[in-house]
Amino acid sequence: MAEQPLLLVDVDGVLNPTGRQRGDFRTYDCVTSGTLYKVRLNRTHGTWLLTLAQNTGAALIWATTWEDAANDWIGPPLGLPTLPVIPMPPSAPPARGRGFGEMFKTPYVADYVAGRPFVWFDDAVSEADEEYLRHRSDVGEFLLVQVSAERGLTRDDVDRAGAWLGDRPRERRGSG
């Protein structure tokens, strides 16, 4: 039986793009740890991610420094349920060190996935992150989808993930 794949989702630059606002995005005020943030979100992103997860049998997971605040402020406007969160405490180092020039989130992701196949949507992933993940013996198959921070998540990004996940064996889910 194949392991359930994971869909790891960043917020800033992926669901909250940095470029000029288009008509399909709405601005929201979010307050976390006493700080006001303005985020621009597109409800279509939530629909795409939920459909991708449903069609591929994958589990959606937050992979963002928003951590649990993503469930409070980002998920609801996108129509997403409460999702598991990869902990990324700034004061605690990940279980394994860094070494390839990868971004700080990558060791946390590697520790969390624990050999399960995954797709990671992030605007900051690079060849160094891929190299780090490939050298970890406890990391299984993966696809890094580098999202344009200016545009945010696109249909092409989601389709690329869907094609990769579609080529994998699916975990059997039975209902008698």
pLDDT (tens digit per residue) in 115-145: 999 999 999 999 999 999 999 999 999 999 9
Q: Would 1 be classed as within a structural domain?
A: no
Q: What is the pLDDT of residue 175?
A: 30
Q: What is the pLDDT of residue 93?
A: 61
User: Of the candidates 77, 81, 109, which has an alpha carbon nearest to the alpha carbon of residue 10?
Assistant: 109
Q: In CATH, what number is assigned to the domain containing residue 26?
A: 3.40.50
Tell me if 30 sits within 8 A of 37, measured CB to CB.
yes
Q: Would 157 be classed as within a structural domain?
A: yes
Q: Would 173 be classed as within a structural domain?
A: no
Q: What is the pLDDT of residue 172?
A: 35
Per DSSP, 74 falls in state I
Low-confidence stretches of the chain (pLDDT < 50) are 1, 171-176
Q: Would 162 be classed as within a structural domain?
A: yes
